[in-house]
Structure 1
Amino acid sequence: MKKIKLSLVSYLNTFPFLSGIEKSGFINPEWIEIVLETPSQCAKSILSGSSDVGLLPIGAYLTTDQSKFEVITDYCLGAENEVKSVLLLSDIPLEKIKTICLDSQSRTSNLLVQVLAHEYWNLSAEFISSEEKVTNVEVAKLLIGDRALEKRNHFRYSYDLAKEWFDFTSLPFVFALWVAKKEIAGRIEDALNKSIKFSEDKISELLHYYNFPNVITFEEAYAYLTRDMSYSLTHKKKEAIERFSNLVVKNNLV
C-alpha cells in the first residue's frame, strides 16, 4: 500500500502533533511518511496534491479552492492571546514604522500584519519582501516560528501579532488547520485525534525527547506549548477564521 504523505510545519509549535504521531502508537509508521517543512512549503505541498494530509496555513486555506480537501481533527495551530512566535520586530515604535519586511515563510502572518496595519494600527506602511533592499531606517521585520523565539530580544520593540489581533477583535487566532484529501480524510482523522490527545496528556514527558535550540529552555518550551499555543479548534476559533477572512477580502489582500 502506498504511504500517506503528511506535511507538518518544522517549528517547535507542532511538537504536540509530531510527538503524538510518532509516540502514541495510534498511527502505524509503516503507512505514513512525515515531511517537515516551512508553512509556505506545507501549503504548496498540500495544494499541489503532493501531500495527502497536513497543516494548511490559514492564509492558503482562505485563498484557494476549499473543495479540494476536507478540514479534519479537533485541532489547529492557534493562540488565545499572546503567542510569542509571530512578531513584528523593530528598533523604533510602531507609529514611526514606514516599511515592514514580510516573512517569506508565512503568507498567513503576512496577511495578518497587513490587516492589523490597515484596520487597527492605522499605519500607512510599505510592505516589502524580506529579500528586497531596505533604504530607510524606519523599518520593522516580521518573523515567525523558531526564528521569532530566537530574535525576540534582539530589538527594542516587539509586537506580538496574536495579542494585537486579540486586542483588536477579542478573538483568538488560527494560524493553520489540519486538512486531508477527501479520499484520505476518513482513514486518518480518528487516529490523528487520538495521537494528538495522547501527546497533550504527556507533553512534559515527551518534551524530554526534543532537541532544544540554544535559545529556549525546557521550561520556556513547556510554557510556550501549554500556555501560549492553543490547539483545540473551538467555536471561537472558527469565528476568528471567518472574521479574518472577511477582513482579508475587505482590504483586497487576495
Structure 2
Amino acid sequence: MAGGRGAGGAVSYRAGWIHYTNVAPILDDLVLPPRVSAVTGVPTQMNAALLSGEVDIANISAVEFIRNAATLAALPDFSVSVLGPVYSVNLFHRVPWPDLKRVALTAQSATSVALLEVLLRGSGVPAVLERAEGTAQDLLAAGYDGVLRIGDSALREWYGVVGPLTEATTMTALPHTRGGVMVTDLAEKWFELTGHPFVFAVWAYRKDAPPPADLVQAMRVSRRRGIGALAQVAERHAEKLGLPARVVQHYLWNFRYHLEAPDRLGLREFAAKAVPDHAPLSFGAPPT
C-alpha cells in the first residue's frame, strides 16, 4: 500500500504522496517495489519535501511543478487532469461572477489559487483575494462575495448545495445554483475559456533523482487496477466522505490519470498564463 516500505533491502528512493480521493485509483493499492519508501502529507508538506530533497518524487500541484521547472521533471504519462468539471475546485458565490469584489481563500492548493487568478484576469474581474478560514456558507454569511474551496471538503460542500441527487438525476446536467448560492467549477470555466483539459497535478521528480523503472511500472499496474474497479474505490471512499457512492464514482470517472497530448497542451497554456517567465517544462522518458 502507498505509505508502506518496499519489501526487502535498504531504502534508496523516497516518494511523497498527497493521498486525496482524486488519486485513490492510483495510490490505494500501490505496492511499493524493493528499496522504495513512501510518506503521505498535505500539498504544502509534499511540495516542500520534494524541493528540499527529503523525497525524490511526489504528486505535486501543477503550478509548483511549473514554478520549479528548472529543477523538476514530470513523469510523461501520469497526471490528475479533467476535461470539463472537476466538482472539487469550486467558487461558491452569491453574486454573479462579473460582480465579484472580495473572494475568500481557505486552505488551498497553489494551483487552484493560480487558476482562479487566471480566470478572473481573463474575464476582466478585479476581485481582491483574501485568506480566511471557514466553510463556504459561513464565509458567504460573513460578507464575502465568493469563497474558493478545494478537495474533499469542496466536494462535500458542492453536494450540500446541489444535492441530494437521486438515481433519476442526470449527472451530465447537474444544478449549479440553489438557495441563492452559485457554484462555479473552475475546471469547467477553464474549459470554456480555452477548450483544453486542466492539469491539477503531475508526478514530479527531482532531475537529479529519476524514479526507478519498477516504481513507475508499479504505479501503472495500480492505476490500471484502480480505473478498472472505480465502483469499489468509490464505495470505499464514499463512506469516508459521507457521500453516496454513485456521486463519488461519477467524480472519479471524470479524471484523466494519464498525461496525453491534450493534457500537455492545457498544461503549457496554463503555464504561459500563470507563470509567463517559467523555465521549459521537462517530461522524462518513459522507463523501459
TM bin, normalised by shorter chain, reads 0.7 to 0.9
Q: Once the two structures are superposed, what CA deviation does each residue of 1:183-209 show, in whole Å capped at 9, x if it has no partner? A: 342332222222212222223234444
Matches within 5 A, 1:63-142: 63-64=67-68, 66-119=69-122, 121-130=123-132, 137-142=143-148
Cα separation, 2, equivalents of 1:142 and 1:251? 26
**Match for residue 274 of structure 2?**
248
CA–CA distance in 1 between the matches of 2:155 and 2:12? Answer: 34
1:18 alignment partner in structure 2: 27
Instruction: Tell me which moved more, 145-154 or 123-132.
Output: 123-132
User: Kindly, what percent of the aligned residue pairs are identical?
Assistant: 22
Identify the residue that residue 168 of structure 2 maps to in structure 1: none
Structure 2 residue corresponding to 1:7, chosen from 12, 16, 24:
16
Report how many aligned residue pairs link the two structures: 244
Structure 1: runs of 5+ lacking an equivalent: none
Are 2:208 and 1:202 equivalent residues in the alignment? no
Q: CA-atom RMSD, angstroms?
A: 2.7
| Aligned counterpart, 1:215 | 242
Q: Is the contact between residue 8 and residue 14 of structure 1 (CA under 8 Å) also seen in structure 2?
A: no
Q: How does 1:25-40 map to 2 (within 5 A)?
A: 27-28=32-33, 31-40=35-44
Residue type of the partner of 1:160?
A: D
Larger radius of gyration: 2
**Greater displacement, 48-57 / 140-149:** 48-57
Q: TM-score normalized by structure 1?
A: 0.85
Tell me the secondary structure at the aligned position of residue 2 of structure 1. Answer: coil
Residues 239 and 95 from structure 1, CA distance in 2 versus in 1: closer, same or farther, beyond 3 angstroms? same
Partner of 1:171: 196
Q: Structure 2, unaligned stretches of length 5 or more? A: 1-9, 162-179, 279-288
Q: 1:149 aligns with which of 145, 151, 155?
A: 155
- Residue 201 of structure 1 aligns to which amino acid in structure 2? G
Q: CA deviation at 1:233?
A: 0.8
Contact conserved, 2:13 with 2:211, CA < 8 A, in 1? no
Distance across 2 between alignment mates of 1:196 and 1:162: 22
In structure 2, the CA distance between the partners of 1:131 and 1:197, relative to structure 1 (3 Å rule), is: same
Distance 1:238 1:96, change over 3 A: same
Whole-angstrom distance in 2 between the partners of 1:107 and 1:74 = 22
Residue 136 of structure 1: how far off its partner (Å): 7.3
Which range moved further: 200-209 or 237-246? 200-209
What is the TM-score with the length of structure 2 in the denominator? 0.76
2:165 corresponds in structure 1 to none
Which amino acid letter does the alignment assign opposite residue 38 of structure 2?
I
Cα deviation for residue 112 of structure 1 reads: 0.3
